[in-house]
Structure 1
Amino acid sequence: MTIEGASPLGETIREFARHLGAERALSGHTLRAYLGDLRDLDAYADRIGLEGPAELDVTVLRAWLSRQHALGLSRATLARRTAAVRAFTSHLHRRGLLSSDPGALLGTPRRARDLPVVITQDQAGRLLDTVDATGPEGLRDLAVLEVLYGTGIRVSELCGLDVDDLDGARRTVRVLGKGGKERTVPIGEPAVRAVQDWLRAGRPAFATEKSGPAVFLGVRGGRLHPTTARRIVHERIAEVGEMPDMAPHGLRHSAATHLLEGGADLRSVQEILGHASLQTTQLYTQVSAERLKRVHRQAHPRGSAAE
């Protein structure tokens, strides 16, 4: 029997959380999601009368995942929960708390991947050419948009940039990506010019003692927060009008799609974006193909079925 008030897996989950925080380079968001998933497993184990981690087996895990499916969870969430429990049982097995690893027997639900919404090259040009870049905020917002679209980096990577990460002469930017992996990304002349204009004529108006080396600042002088960067993108797109609303990741999707449409090879785009898997990058080839089919249907005399 478990001690009154204790849960079957609570202590091992807490120990696993310490392990993840110390030894695995997971983002804070992924770590919180994994622990939430395992707490749900812990509650299920308690309901069915498990007394400890040694009683976890593949039948229990499959029953728990089946229940999640019955509750209507998406395939993406089920895939993440499967990954979380696999990491957990593997850790328990290595510690000797499980004689075998039941998580290794779980299949991974295939995620349905919707094609990302992207803007056209003309729309991207209109967005960047119509930003009112007067005043410190205007200079900053234009530089934010130019860098996001011009490099395809993530919003967290943009907000983490320091002044010495930008090499204007070589037109490259050093980026710290997921898992603490560093990469060098090419950056076009318009983005370099926009950042230099911001650093020269905009940043000093916001800078304080707490600004440190951050390239992009909020109005109070601290490093620009991703939430603020997202607001900038939404508001500036809304000002242009007749464009799909999107977050910074939409500009990343658009940059990748436009690179491939311009003739860039898949491996180069993978390196620019910092994708661990080429399969992730291949999604953008589907976006380009879908766009070409749309253009064909609209423009070719035999592109669509006769009405």
Structure 2
Amino acid sequence: MGSAKSKSLLPSVEQFSDELWLVDGLADRTIDAYRADLINFGSWLTQHNGKTLLQVQNLDIEAWLASLLERKISARSVARYTASLRRFYQYLLTNGQVVQDPTMRLGKIKIPHRLPNTPTQDDVASLLDITDLNSHQGLRDKAMLELLYATGIRATELSDLKVEDFDFKNRVIRVCGKGNKERLVVYGEEAAFWLDLYLSRSRPALRRDYLCNHVFLSVRGKKISTGVLRLVVKKHASNKGIERPLSTHSLRHAFATHLLDAGADLRVIQELLGHACISTTQIYTFVATKRLVTLHSRFHPRNKDTAGYQAGDNLHVRFQSMNP
């Protein structure tokens, strides 16, 4: 925090940041987000009443949150600011730097329910139908996309994968997720086939003389970046004429929703995705329910539109062999 704004903040902010890193093991970007929220609040305090973060009362926080809503800041962002302040002042109270938590009486911000824009099974099938498999890049892209869809891992998690993270015999991957929390995920035969092909044919050529031990490599032989991963998804979606906006996270949504459609248990999906709280995973139940309502209203014989249900290419078959 080298800016003029940051100099007006108390050492308690940096102590709080250190706590998030040392004790909670949060990622740097998450800690930066907490710090930025406190910087914004601290700047507002200085401009409006000259108070410091240690002098704050409940009315000060309510006034700031109200000003954010007046400026048309989204409810989701305001809720995040509230969560940052709650955690910060709970830390200060625990460590004796304040005698009362000014966030105790804050009401809960209502966030509109936003469903993820999940690709259909046909969208995913089209995206994975990569025809350029004679080039090292094409084979790498095929293996990456198959693995993203087969496991639901994040782009950053796939980028960080190393050879030693794989148990190729049992098709299990040790993934380091948010907050450096490790989990085990499994992948099916389809992803295993393309991964083995990539590792034997294309990775040695991409690796060249570098000693990089990451699984997926750029054309320069270094660890592939999340930016390149996003471009890979956009390129192949464009090549297939897919109109729906797709991203690496779209495949994560597709993994969860399609598993749920195929009858998987929500707790299992939570473990595979690495969600700390089941409420985060429950968003996919709304997606699945919405899809069921649409299918029922369109294809049920007692409804007016009786065009008949044509079962598509059931990609959940890929998940039937996930258990090693």
The offset of 1:131, in angstroms, is 4.0
Instruction: Report what 2:104 is aligned to.
Output: 104
> Do structure 1's residue 9 and structure 2's residue 9 form an aligned pair?
yes
What are the Cα deviations for residues 31-59 of structure 1, in whole angstroms up to 9, with x where unaligned? 22211111111111112333433311111
Secondary structure in structure 1 of the residue aligned to 2:185: strand
Q: Which has the higher contact order (CA 8 A, sep 6+)?
A: 2
**Distance of 2:5 and 2:226 partners within structure 1:** 40
Using the TM superposition, name which of 238-247 and 140-149 deviates more: 238-247
Instruction: Report what 2:78 is aligned to.
Output: 78
Tell me, yes or no, if the aligned pair for 1:238 and 1:245 is still in contact at 8 Å. no
Q: How does 1:176-195 map to 2 (within 5 A)?
A: 176-195=176-195
Q: How does 1:220-231 map to 2 (within 5 A)?
A: 220-231=220-231
Instruction: Give the residue type in structure 1 aligned to 2:111.
Output: R
**Distance of 1:57 and 1:245 partners within structure 2:** 44
Instruction: Report what 1:28 is aligned to.
Output: 28
Instruction: Report what 2:264 is aligned to.
Output: 264
Change (3 A) 1:303 1:119: farther
> Do structure 1's residue 154 and structure 2's residue 141 form an aligned pair?
no
**Distance of 1:6 and 1:277 partners within structure 2:** 33
The offset of 1:16, in angstroms, is 2.6
Q: How does 1:225-264 map to 2 (within 5 A)?
A: 225-264=225-264
Tell me, yes or no, if the aligned pair for 1:211 and 1:217 is still in contact at 8 Å. no
The offset of 1:91, in angstroms, is 2.0
Tell me, yes or no, if the aligned pair for 1:8 and 1:53 is still in contact at 8 Å. no
**Distance of 1:60 and 1:304 partners within structure 2:** 57
Using the TM superposition, name which of 48-57 and 34-43 deviates more: 48-57
The offset of 1:10, in angstroms, is 4.0
Change (3 A) 1:127 1:298: same
**Distance of 1:35 and 1:143 partners within structure 2:** 38
Instruction: Give the residue type in structure 1 aligned to 2:237.
Output: I
The offset of 1:101, in angstroms, is 1.4
Listed as ranges, the gaps of 5+ residues in structure 2 are 306-324
> Do structure 1's residue 47 and structure 2's residue 47 form an aligned pair?
yes
Change (3 A) 1:161 1:83: same
Change (3 A) 1:283 1:304: farther
Using structure 1 for the length normalisation, give the TM-score: 0.91
Instruction: Report what 2:317 is aligned to.
Output: none
Instruction: Give the residue type in structure 2 aligned to 1:234.
Output: K
**Distance of 2:212 and 2:53 partners within structure 1:** 47
Instruction: Give the residue type in structure 2 aligned to 1:272.
Output: L
Using the TM superposition, name which of 73-82 and 160-169 deviates more: 160-169
Instruction: Give the residue type in structure 2 aligned to 1:280.
Output: T
Instruction: Report what 2:318 is aligned to.
Output: none
Number of residues of Structure 1 aligned to a counterpart in Structure 2: 302
The offset of 1:209, in angstroms, is 5.2
Listed as ranges, the gaps of 5+ residues in structure 1 are none
| CA-based RMSD | 2.2
Using the TM superposition, name which of 173-182 and 42-51 deviates more: 42-51
Q: How does 1:294-305 map to 2 (within 5 A)?
A: 294-300=294-300, 302-303=302-303
Instruction: Report what 2:291 is aligned to.
Output: 291
Change (3 A) 1:82 1:209: farther
Instruction: Report what 1:144 is aligned to.
Output: 144
Using structure 2 for the length normalisation, give the TM-score: 0.86
Tell me, yes or no, if the aligned pair for 2:257 and 2:284 is still in contact at 8 Å. yes
The offset of 1:117, in angstroms, is 1.4
Change (3 A) 1:237 1:56: same
**Distance of 2:131 and 2:166 partners within structure 1:** 22
What are the Cα deviations for residues 105-128 of structure 1, in whole angstroms up to 9, with x where unaligned? 323313223111122223322322
**Distance of 1:5 and 1:195 partners within structure 2:** 48
